[in-house]
Structure 1
Amino acid sequence: MIISEKNHTYHHQINPDLSNVDWQHILHLFQKINWKHRIAEEIEKAFRLSTTTIFIYDEEVIIAFGRVIGDGRYYAMLADIVVDPDYQGQGLGKYLVKTLNDQLVNYHFVNLSAAPGADDFYKSMGWKKQTTAFIWPQGPKQLRQHCEED
């Protein structure tokens, strides 16, 4: 169970039966935060290939989620940390990140790619900018949003 700052109780599931997830609703949540270039079937496939998944519910409706992509021992990456904008500011994002990170005991490297503008959010939880991380840009938008200028 999770108790938010507004004294409302939510519940979460780690690695639930993904057959019960409404992937169109997940797509809608991605769209609400302006991550628009997604397809429900591809989202489902990505979550099924993930090491760990977590979903937070208000009643029976998913309001937040995240996942870990990992090899089980050495490398893990947090991905798709999403909170419905109607529920942001209640500590749910921090809860997602902490709960996923707590699953990664004894990993050698745990990282994430922050959405543009989310640096302070992750720094507030103790995450550090990595000086040796690189990206192979998949287009001009990614180059603009995630890369240093040469």
Structure 2
Amino acid sequence: MKLNIYNDCIDRDWERVAYLMRYFDLSDAPANTHQQAFENSYVVTFVYDDQTLIGFGRAISDGVSQAAIYNIAVDPNYHSQGIGKRIVQNLLSFVKHCNVVLYTHPDTIDFYKRLGFRRMKTGMAIYVHEEKVEQMGFIE
């Protein structure tokens, strides 16, 4: 395995991003929507095994005190190899001066706890597709 980590959106495989987001039921958005979201983010991380995109994530931030991490995904063939951890650590290195909140799937909470994240007691949200998000266990 030859890992390459990139922190830019130049020549990224947006169809693969959309595929992995759909695979993990994180988003049904098309590739160009993901491209726009990543390009508008404060920092992005893409991990390739040679020429194949195997993982990614992004953070939004005011660049001063607040940040949020979104869209962490790793190809299932590469799970349990530390790639998700590397993505999160890479993103955190750019926002280490900020309070960081994390938006994640209910099934991955323990993974993030192992990386030092703690559950919030006061987090609130409004979702466009509230019924679907509630069925997935994101909200009460």
TM-score (norm 2): 0.91
Give structure 1 stretches of 5+ with no counterpart: 1-7
The alpha carbon displacement at 1:115 in A equals 0.6
The alpha carbon displacement at 1:93 in A equals 0.6
Match for 1:97 among 88, 102, 106? Answer: 88
Match of 1:72 in 2: 63
Q: Quick one: distance in 2 between partners of 1:120 and 1:79? A: 16
Higher-Rg member (1/2): 1
The alpha carbon displacement at 1:66 in A equals 0.4
Equivalent position SS for 1:110 = strand
Match of 2:19 in 1: 28
The Cα offsets for residues 37-93 of structure 1, whole Å up to 9 and x where unpaired, read as 111111111011000011001011110000001111121100100101111111101
The alpha carbon displacement at 1:22 in A equals 2.1
Aligned length: 138
Letter in 1 for 2:18: L
Match of 1:63 in 2: 54
Give structure 2 stretches of 5+ with no counterpart: none
Match for 1:133 among 119, 123, 132? Answer: 123
Match of 2:105 in 1: 115
Equivalent position SS for 2:55 = strand
Letter in 1 for 2:138: H
Q: Quick one: distance in 1 between partners of 2:34 and 2:27? A: 12
The answer as to whether partners of 2:18 and 2:28 remain within 8 angstroms in 1 is no
When the two chains are superposed, the root-mean-square deviation of aligned CA atoms in Å is: 1.4
Q: Quick one: distance in 1 between partners of 2:71 and 2:27? A: 13
The answer as to whether partners of 1:55 and 1:65 remain within 8 angstroms in 2 is yes
Q: Quick one: distance in 2 between partners of 1:86 and 1:124? A: 21
Q: Quick one: distance in 1 between partners of 2:53 and 2:132? A: 29
| Structure 1 runs, 4 residues or longer, greater than 3 Å off | none
The alpha carbon displacement at 1:36 in A equals 4.4
